[in-house]
Copies of this chain bind each other. A is one copy, B any other.
Amino acid sequence: MSASRSDGTIRVGIVGGTGYTGAELLRLLAQHPAVQLVSITSRGMAGTAVDRLFPSLRGRVGLTFVEPAAAHLERCDAVFFATPHGVAMSQARELLASGVRIIDLAADFRLRDAAEFERWYKIPHACPELLAEAVYALPEAAREAIKRARLIAMPGCYPTSVLLGLLPLAKLQAERSGGSGRGHAGDPVVDWGGLIADCKSGVSGAGRKVEIEYLAGEVSENFRAYGLGGHRHHPEIEQQLQQAVGRPVRVTFVPHLVPMIRGIHATLYVRLQAAAGEDLQRLYERFYRDEPFVDVMPPGSHPDTRSVRGSNIARIALHRPAEDLAIVLVVEDNLVKGAAGQAVQAMNIAFGRPESEGLTHIPLLP
């Protein structure tokens, strides 16, 4: 599997580009200097020009949706799945066999345990043997693995925000636990069993699903929590944190729907224990110093979601209302860093391109 064609271009196919994630992928890829968009599939819209569905792409994307069978995806270098869960896994074996890199924006390859997948998604997994190989592609946590990956599972939008907000503490824990000679090596640096992630998302996070609860008349001028009975991003958050921390983790995760289109705001409550003496601001700044897409804001900041709108950046601010308590605020654009942008970032890494290529848009404010 080569980095890219000899001329540096990456031939890209998209499966299921009629939703918001698909539209966003098209926006980003159409402006990416190394990408050649060769095919986009949709059962329902086959035969329709992409720019009829999304007039914002007029003059920029000349493709027409085609039936999956006619797409010749096996000739691509990379295929993005911007589909509901269950689609990528049905085509994965064949595409991998053709030497195609798969970048799945759905959930098929996020959970390492097929049983766990089946419990949350209510369908059997079509290729459990591939789960071990799949890379959970949060670049800030798995850059090296992405470079070698054939099967790239993009994190969910909520998990991206929660994980970015907790990774520096997870690493601190891992270092301390693994270290020796420091008296508190085994002490939990935070109360890993009592994490709270109060998350808020704009409505595009639900995709372009035609359900009554996402009508403008239902969403506008309204605010509510949802999913307290269990949200599919929950196991993914705990799985990844646990792996990073190296000990059991319990996250209370409550998502809320905000009457806006784009943006996720995570408010994370962390009880500090052995870490109580730490300078968290410094810890986070150091951890993210070289990251192109994570911005640790000055102390006292309140990042707003619009400050990242349309861009691949996540911004983090740290608060410390008491010695034993940290509040971590994280914002991202759920369609970019939370989905399509991060997928392009992973593609760049996997194909040896500059990591920021095609992802340098300045956020749209106001």
Select A261's contact among B194, B216, B228, B311, beta carbons within 8 Å: B216
Q: Which of B200, B216, B267, B362 contacts A215 (CB 8 A)?
A: B216
Interface string of A188-214 (1 = CB under 8 A from B): 000000101010101110101111101
A220 within 8 Å of B by Cβ? yes
Assess whether A304 is in contact with B365, with CB atoms less than 8 Å apart: no
- Residue pair B304, A60 in contact (C-beta under 8 Å): no
Among candidates B31, B216, B228, B265, residue contacting A216 with C-beta atoms closer than 8 Å:
B216
Q: In angstroms, how far is the closest chain B Cβ from the Cβ of A211?
A: 7
Which residues of chain B come closer than 8 Å to A361, judged between CB atoms?
Answer: 31, 361
**A319 to B230, alpha carbons, bound, how many Å?**
11
Q: Does A337 interact with chain B (Cβ within 8 Å)?
A: no
Number of chain A residues close to chain B: CB under 8 A: 83
Q: How many copies of this chain sit in the oligomeric assembly?
A: 4
Partner of A265, one of B57, B224, B267: B224
Complex interface: chain B residues within 8 A of A319 (CB): 228-229
Using Cβ atoms and an 8 Å threshold, which residues of chain B touch A311? 56
B residues less than 8 Å from A310 (CB atoms):
310, 364
| A366 B23 Cβ-Cβ under 8 A | yes
**Binary B-proximity of A225-263 (CB < 8 A = 1, otherwise 0):** 110110000000000000000000010101010111111
Are A223 and B295 neighbours in the complex by a CB distance under 8 Å? no
Residues of B within 8 A of A218 (CB): 208, 216, 366
Q: Do residues A217 and B196 form an inter-chain contact, with CB atoms below 8 A?
A: no
The 8 Å CB contact of A56, one of B23, B258, B263, B362, is B362
Partner of A305, one of B224, B254, B260, B329: B224
Residue pairs across A and B with Cβ atoms less than 8 A apart, 17 shown, are: A20-B217, A31-B362, A56-B362, A203-B215, A203-B216, A208-B218, A209-B215, A216-B219, A220-B366, A221-B306, A222-B304, A223-B305, A225-B329, A256-B267, A258-B259, A310-B364, A361-B361
19 further contact pairs, Cβ within 8 A, besides A208-B218, A216-B259, A259-B259? A27-B365, A31-B361, A196-B269, A198-B267, A203-B215, A204-B366, A208-B212, A215-B215, A220-B366, A221-B262, A223-B265, A223-B305, A224-B303, A225-B267, A225-B302, A225-B329, A228-B329, A256-B265, A262-B366
